[in-house]
Amino acid sequence: MPAEVAGAALIDGKELAERIRADVALESAALAARGVTPGLSVVLVGDDPASAVYVGAKEKASREAGMAGETIRLPVDTTQAQLLAIVERLNADPRVHGILVQMPLPRQIDPDTVIRHIRPDKDVDGFHPVNVGKLLIGHTDGFAPCTPAGVQRMLMEYGVETRGAEVVVIGRSTIVGKPMAALLMQPGAGADATVTVCHSRTRDLAAHTRRADILIVAAGRARMVTADMVKPGAVVIDVGMNRIPDATTKSGTRLVGDVDFDGVRRVASLITPVPGGVGPMTIAMLLHNTVRAAARTLDG
């Protein structure tokens, strides 16, 4: 049951992610017993601190789930040709079921070119045009991007009714906003919603957000959504992760979302905290996608 907090109940993404990862570990062991150990290979180019932390977390999570694989760390001056050669090697390796090239990439490498070189059946991040197309037309044999898939799983696990619901998504990125809208407008469980996508050119943003039964915020602006922009009783999913100055902490900063949590939690019925909300779900769904990719090699 979600914990009660000043009017809104918290959606505990950390606890849900732990359950998903436990299920993934069981599925991974079952596959290993049949001769297939799920393999996830992660490629990190350069020394971006945030990317390094995130890749380390993925590496630890995959190991705990009983998966094989490697983390390939490349220098910041790696050429596009060198990176593509590594991707092609991983494409051809039957022990590798999932390939993830960590973004952002250095300026000399075009991310779209790299994504297009990953085999769609190994694209567990869900960014290859083939997987994007399958998502849009409602085919379920592709991979959905991990963060939107994690948000949809949260809504389902917490019993949020999406059928016929007014959903407003703030943000139109290819990583979150667009695939989130595509997932929720499909027919079926955890979907069948009426979706509005808002962005930086939207006129009168608050007029849209105040209609939302479910408000999903992925704009990349710290605490931009305030209580007066939220319909009483709405479910609020905060995908944002922003560092702001905070002299009371050891680092001098703290992590906040795109939602003014303290204010909005007094209006909403359910809300995700930052940290501990959507973030842990992203890695959990990455592992889930990798196990699915491995299972398909047994299905033919």
Catalytic residue from among 12, 121, 123, 125: 125
What HEC string does 15-65 produce? HHHHHHHHHHHHHHHHHHHCCCCCEEEEEEECCCHHHHHHHHHHHHHHHHC
- Identify whether 102 is a catalytic site residue: yes
User: Is 58 noted as a catalytic residue in this protein?
Assistant: yes
Q: In whole angstroms, how far apart are CA 101 and each of 15, 72, 118?
A: 27, 9, 9
Q: How many CA atoms lie within 13 A of 258 on its CB side?
A: 17
Residue in this structure with the two tokens 């209580």, named with its chain if needed: 227
Q: What angle do CA 118, 122, 126 make, to 5 degrees?
A: 80
- Catalytic, 152? Answer no
Question: Under a CB-based contact definition with an 8 Å cutoff, are residues 179 and 135 in contact?
Answer: yes
Tell me how far apart the alpha carbons of residues 160 and 270 are, in angstroms, rounded to a whole number: 9
Set 12, 58, 152, 213: catalytic member: 58
Catalytic choice (102, 134, 186, 260)? 102
Euclidean distance between CA atoms 162 and 49, whole angstroms:
37
Residue 294 and residue 119: Cα distance in Å, rounded? Answer: 14
Q: Which residues are catalytic?
A: 58, 102, 125
